[in-house]
Amino acid sequence: MSTAFRSMGLSIIQIGLPSFVESLAGSLTSYGIIIGIFSVTQSILQYPYAALSDKLGRRKVVLFGMFVYLLGTFLCFTAQDVIQLTIYRAIQGAGAYTSILQAVIGDIYKKDQHSKGMGYYSLYMNVGFFLGFIIGGFVASFFGFRSIFLISGFLIIFSIVFIFFTLKDDNKTEKSENQDKNMEFNITNIKILLKERQYIFTLILNSMRWFLFGFITAYLIWVLQDNVKGFGLDEFTSSYLMLVVMAIYVVFIFIASKLLNRYGPRKLMMVGQIIVMLFGIPFFFGDFVMNLPVFLIVVSFLAIGIALFDPAGITLLLEVIEDIQPKLKGSGIGFNNAIGLFCGAIAPMIMSPLGEIEILFPFYVVFGLMIVSLTITKFLVDKKF
């Protein structure tokens, strides 16, 4: 429930944020910084929060993180200029408690039921995200764009109350000597993995995927709502159009998970990359693609291609690590996520200034990334995967 409330708050903010930034005389560049700074502080503090929860207990640390997030959220509501909003978003991101919620799932469910627990986690996260798009458009349109942070704040208050009364145990994790030794050799494990070319190629591919996910949703919302270079839609309309695109994405994530066993991650990644490239071509014909129905059709096919790329990327990573050294899964996945979070955080900061030059320029970059990605997958990733 806390995960659902958090995801709902995030998507509510995404829908109303472009109008909020423009009301503060902000530009697309400042919008990208405001999006990115939240992810930067969040990515930096994910591990310290999680490690601290091992020592002090989940309940205390997750409540502290929620209070920091709540403080940043209500400060954003009061922001009077772009600089204030940027600082307050950094504070909001500093309440990086998502890793602790995942750790709580690991505490509650036994080892053989972890997949079930994470399945519930993923389900509620996506349900919250979808509901946020529905609610966000309504809230921003009828109550004003500032209210997005107010509503998000109230959702976090519900989460705090929920966690306070339901998470009774302190959930402290007692570390054994073997666990401490494993922690000491994490850097050594990463060095072992980085000596393997297949791991490096997979790391690059997944970093591109994180970079793409880091900006694409927020940028699409800006294009739909921008009155000068975009389509000038209101928050209510843009939220429902984004809901359709996200629904297509989720459906094909499910389809991709079924196809992975039959075709393998390498082939499925290539199919996804080719789809993104093919439907990236219309962006080079500006007048044609800037017709709203055409734009939505093209973006929907981009969502399909990216959806095939998404689960295939993480599956390829697991198979490569399994092939190198199965005992290094934790280090290998953790290092991949750390690099990925960083790429996702800087993506909107890089892509938004490019969008200032030309509204479709970021889509040209997506096209270029897919060419590089397809080349690596086709010629450098081992065919056995």
HSE-CB at 136 with a 13 A cutoff on CA atoms is 32
pLDDT at 333 over 80: no
d(CA 35, CA 22): 14
* Burial of residue 33 (number of CB atoms within 10 Å: 0-12, 13-18, 19+): buried
pLDDT tens track for 291-302:
999 999 999 999
Which residues have C-beta within 8 Å of that of residue 191, sequence separation ≥ 6? none
Question: Do 186-385 and 1-167 have the same topology in CATH?
Answer: yes
How far does Cα 212 stand from its chain's mean position?
Answer: 9
User: What 8-state DSSP symbol labels residue 378?
Assistant: H
d(CA 194, CA 196): 5
For every residue of 161-216, which 3-state class applies, written as one string? HHHHHHCCCCCCCCCCHHHHHHHHCHHHHHHHHHCCHHHHHHHHHHHHHHHHHHHH
Domain at 1-167, CATH from 1.10.240.10, 3.30.499.10, 2.50.20.10, 1.20.1250.20:
1.20.1250.20
Domain spans of the chain, in order of start = 1-167, 186-385
User: What 8-state DSSP symbol labels residue 326?
Assistant: G
Q: How sure is the predictor about 183, in pLDDT bands with cuts at 50, 70 and 90?
A: very low
Neighbours of 358 (CB within 10 A): 12
**pLDDT at res. 114:** 59
d(CA 348, CA 352): 6
d(CA 362, CA 283): 10
Q: What is the mean pLDDT of the chain?
A: 85
pLDDT at 181 over 60: no
Higher-pLDDT residue of 194 and 189 is 194
**Strongest mean pLDDT among 33-47, 120-134, 281-295, 300-314:** 281-295
Q: How sure is the predictor about 182, in pLDDT bands with cuts at 50, 70 and 90?
A: very low
**pLDDT at res. 170:** 53
The secondary element (H helix, E strand) that includes residue 102 is helix 98-108
Which residues have C-beta within 8 Å of that of residue 216, sequence separation ≥ 6? 306, 366
Give, in order, the Cα–Cα distances in Å from 191 to each of 54, 156, 331, 382. 25, 40, 10, 21
Question: What kind of fold does domain 186-385 have according to CATH?
Answer: Growth Hormone; Chain: A; (1.20.1250)
pLDDT at 384 over 60: yes
**pLDDT at res. 286:** 87
Rounded to 5, what percent of the chain is helix, strand, coil? Answer: 85, 0, 15
d(CA 307, CA 273): 10
pLDDT tens track for 31-48:
999 999 998 898 888 778
